[in-house]
Homo-oligomer: A and B are copies of this chain.
Amino acid sequence: MPESFSQMASSDSFSQIASSLASIARGFYLRGWLVGTSGNLSAVVDREPLRLAMSPSGVDKGELRAEQILIIAEDARVISEHRTKPSDESPLHLRIVKELGAGAVIHTHSIWNTILSDLHAADGGVAIEGYEMLKGLQGVNTHEHREWLPIIENSQDMLALADSIGNTLEKHNDAHGFLLRRHGLYCWGSDLSQAKRHVEILEFLLEAVGRTLLIKDGE
């Protein structure tokens, strides 16, 4: 996997990446997954040394433009000539990129990921099983797959949270995303379009699982 990631990084230019990143952000804002300046997106620009295209902190995702996308280094310092700060959750993006060799990371706040991250917190995760849509996740070839979406307790200590995430990803190294409790969904992929696909797949499945609960509860 790492090989294909570094090929991606060298072939795509930063301006293309920044433009895709802003376009995905505007689309997901309209779906209600990045409202109130919530959520953040990143993509690897270079591996050696690590350079990450990253959405700035506190911006309206519905109006995000390519020119606003920062480049940050492995320590989350801004490398590009911007005066804005990168997202506070940059350490989490960097951890996922390093831990998994991912090429892009997208973090959304949706109604259904928020609700399910709380409802199943005591179980430590949500099991999603038997849906054709699971095949949209990289490496899954059948609906008979059982996806485990780990739930991690939320925290304002970004370094501690990065460590929790590191531990969780070690234990569940076949996961395609995880939930932060009452916070949101983290997804990744080999590049931005795969990360986008994974967000859409997991958001769809969380909504399907959540709405099924409503019907099952009533019976």
Shortest CB–CB separation between residue A37 and chain B, in angstroms?
Answer: 6
A193 to B204, CA, bound (A): 26
A35 to B183, CA, bound (A): 23
Is there contact, CB below 8 Å, between A154 and B136? no
Interface size class of A (residues with CB under 8 A): 35 or more
Is there contact, CB below 8 Å, between B180 and A132? yes
A175 CB–B CB distance under 8 Å: no
A207 to B115, CA, bound (A): 10
Chain A at the B interface: SS class: helix
A182 CB–B CB distance under 8 Å: yes
Is there contact, CB below 8 Å, between B114 and A133? yes
Contacts of A180 in B (CB 8 A): 132
A60 CB–B CB distance under 8 Å: yes
Shortest CB–CB separation between residue A210 and chain B, in angstroms?
Answer: 8
Given the known inter-chain contacts A119-B215, A214-B218, please indicate yes or no for A184 contacting B132, CB distance below 8 A.
yes
Q: Of the 9-residue stretches A6-14, A71-79, A90-98, A194-202, which lies at the interface with chain B? A: A194-202
Contacts of A183 in B (CB 8 A): 131-132, 143
Contacts of A219 in B (CB 8 A): 217
Contacts of A204 in B (CB 8 A): 32, 35-36, 38, 109, 111
Choose from B154, B200, B218 the contact partner of A218 (Cβ within 8 Å): B218
A119 to B37, CA, bound (A): 28
21 contacts between A and B (CB under 8 A): A36-B133, A36-B136, A36-B201, A37-B197, A38-B133, A38-B204, A60-B197, A109-B204, A111-B207, A111-B208, A114-B131, A114-B133, A115-B208, A115-B215, A119-B212, A130-B182, A132-B182, A132-B183, A213-B218, A214-B218, A215-B217
Kindly list 19 other residue pairs between chains A and B, CB separation below 8 angstroms, not including A109-B133, A111-B208: A35-B201, A36-B197, A36-B201, A36-B204, A60-B193, A60-B196, A109-B204, A114-B208, A115-B212, A131-B182, A132-B182, A132-B184, A141-B156, A143-B183, A213-B215, A213-B218, A214-B215, A215-B217, A217-B217
